[in-house]
Amino acid sequence: MKKYILILAAGKGTRMKSSLPKVLHEAVYHPILSYVIAAAKGVGADDICTVVGHGAEEVKAAFAGETSFILQREQKGTGHAVREGLAAFADHREGMVLVLCGDTPLLRAETLKELCARHEQSEAAVTVMTASLSDPFGYGRVIRGADGDPLRIVEQRDASEEEKAVTEINSGVYCFDLGFLRDAVSKLQNDNDQGELYLTDTIAIARAEGRRAAAYRVADFEEVSGINDRVQLAAAGKVIRRRKAEALMRAGVTLIDPDSTIIDPLAEIGADTVIEPFTVIKGRTVIGADCHIGPNAELTDTVLGDGVRFWRSAAAEASVGDGCNIGPFAYLRPKTELKNGVKVGDFVEVKNSVIGEGTKLPHLTYIGDSDIGAGCNIACGTITCNYDGFDKTRSKIGDRVFVGCNVNLVSPVHIEDDVYIAAGSTITESVPGGSLAIARERQINKEGWAEKFRALHKK
């Protein structure tokens, strides 16, 4: 049977108290809607459409190409959202429609597939996904009939005391027969506390028409928790982190303390890598096998090879070869490429530069817009002066170059292979291969000077 998915994401999210549309709020570095779209894609649908309204342009811009969109101009409730959204499937005759909310990021594709499978088997007009919560406050309650199937769903604010005592809640996820849904949403009334068209009323409509309304109660209530405020947003983030941590640990990664480690769901980490506490791994970061990361590491969209040591340091959009040793307190900025076996030590910043195999930058150095060869030693306090206030220029350093301490390399310069640069030099011109460059004042020793100086100041 054809499967169409409608994601409701037009609501304002008043309880977020934010100028940002609710579904764009992030949990573990991604907007919550992205998790819903990923789960929807995992179901293998024939068409996915997202109903947008509040902040529509922002939401569309953030998810362009990921789903189609329908605009719900005025937000008159979940039933109204579906009524408008169904226009996206106007050409489709039959099939099932899976309705998801953009604010339930913990849903798994497997669970949605199971819902669809059960719906297909039961031949119900609608199957609603439910869960039993110890604290059902705020959710719609599922009122079941004598036959065990749902009779209707009543919202918290419309519920009687007796109904409020029901702990089985509506997850906001449903599977509908397309034909039934089209007809049912045209019949919705706004006779409720909010004066809205409630999608939940389709359950009672099915029953009134003598059709079956089924329920699929999931055991993992966590999966259906919706996000309405920032407390729930943080709680969902915790679940997403825990899921990622568990998947990594099962795949052979050691997390010393998963609770103090944040790893993007999109990150990849190889086996036998150890992640120490207070490490933050963002974006599509890829870490190889046998690495030792942290404590206090921050990696964003960075690629690390195998056997890398990276501690108390930050990297963004950098690439680090096998066996490199980074930190503590190093900063690798975008377009940094370290070949294998490079050492970048304390208080070293590298930007838009390629550092050759086995080269060492042990301490207190800034390398920007440079290409450095293999086997070099760039001693303490070396600085590439790559910016004149208007333009950035590139420098090139060959292989096996020894740059002494406290050297300024005023770009653009070309230091050829096997050059030695004397400590304290300010290099403004290129240096031919195999030479020693000294660019500093020659030292003068004035013997007996101290005694004369002190005598001058004596009274």
Hey, which residues are catalytic here? 363
Q: Is the dihedral of CA 154, 156, 160, 161 positive or negative?
A: positive
**How many residues sit close enough to Ca ion to count as binding (CB under 5 A)?**
2
Dist CA 219 CA 222 (whole Å): 9
Other Cβ atoms closer than 10 A to 117: 13
The nearest distance, CB 4 to ligand UD1, in angstroms, is 16
Residue 54 CA to residue 74 CA, distance in Å, equals: 8
CB of 271 to Ca ion, least distance (A): 39
The DSSP letter of residue 277 is S
Q: Does 128 bind ligand UD1 (CB under 6 A)?
A: no
Whichever of 14 and 426 has its CB closer to Ca ion, that residue is 14
Select from 289, 407, 345 the least CA-distant residue to 359: 345
- Choose among 130, 110, 121: nearest CA to 215: 130
Helix axes of 78-85 and 178-185: crossing angle, nearest 10 degrees = 120
CA distance 255 to 223: 24
Exactly one of 4, 5, 6, 9 binds ligand UD1 (CB under 6 A); that residue is: 9
* Residues in contact with Ca ion, shown as a per-residue x/- string from 99 to 138 under the rule CB under 5 A: ----x-----------------------------------
| Number of residues written out for the chain | 459
Of 112, 153, 413, 427, which lies in the binding site for ligand UD1, with binding defined by CB under 6 A? Answer: 153
Binding status of residue 155 toward ligand UD1 by CB under 6 A: yes
Nearest to Ca ion of 103, 223 (CB atom): 103
Token look-up 């894609």 returns: 41
| In 223-291, alpha helices (H) | 230-250
The beta-strand segments (E) located in 40-81 are 47-52, 68-71
Q: Closest CB to Ca ion among 150 and 226?
A: 226
Interaction of residue 86 with ligand UD1, rule CB under 6 A: no
CB atoms within 10 A of CB 132: 14
Strand partners, 256: none
- State the Cα–Cα distance between residues 178 and 176, nearest whole angstrom: 6
State the nearest-atom distance from the C-beta of 140 to ligand UD1, in Å. 2
* Least gap, CB of 52 to ligand UD1 (angstroms): 8
- Which residue number, 200 or 395, has a Cβ lying nearer to ligand UD1? 200
Q: Is 140 in the site for Ca ion (CB under 5 A)?
A: no
Q: Cβ-closest residue to Ca ion?
A: 226
Asked if residue 226 binds Ca ion (CB under 5 A), the reply is yes
- Interface residue with ligand UD1 among 89, 180, 198, 221 (CB under 6 A) is 198
Selected from 72, 130, 273, 386, the binder of ligand UD1 by CB under 6 A is 72
5, 27, 81, 99: which one contacts ligand UD1 (CB under 6 A)?
81
**Which one, 163 or 306, has the nearer CB to ligand UD1?**
163
Nearer to ligand UD1, 234 or 247 (CB): 234
Q: Which of 321, 374, 326, 419 is nearest to 409 (CA)?
A: 419
- CA dist 382 and 365 (Å) reads 5
Q: Is 11 in the site for ligand UD1 (CB under 6 A)?
A: yes
- Report the distance separating Cα 438 and Cα 428, nearest Å: 11
Cβ 238 to ligand UD1 shortest distance, Å: 18
The Cα–Cα gap between 331 and 340 comes to 18
CB of 241 to ligand UD1, least distance (A): 22
Q: Rule CB under 6 A: is residue 106 a binding residue for ligand UD1?
A: no
Give me the amino acid identity at 297: A
One symbol per residue from 45 to 84: x for binding Ca ion (CB under 5 A), - otherwise; what is it? Answer: ----------------------------------------
Distance of CA 69 to the CA centre of its chain: 23
Q: What part of residues 199-258 is at the interface with ligand UD1 (CB under 6 A)?
A: 199-200, 226, 228
Q: Which residues bind ligand UD1 (CB under 6 A)?
A: 8-11, 51, 53, 72, 75-78, 80-81, 101-103, 139-140, 153, 155, 169-172, 198-200, 226, 228
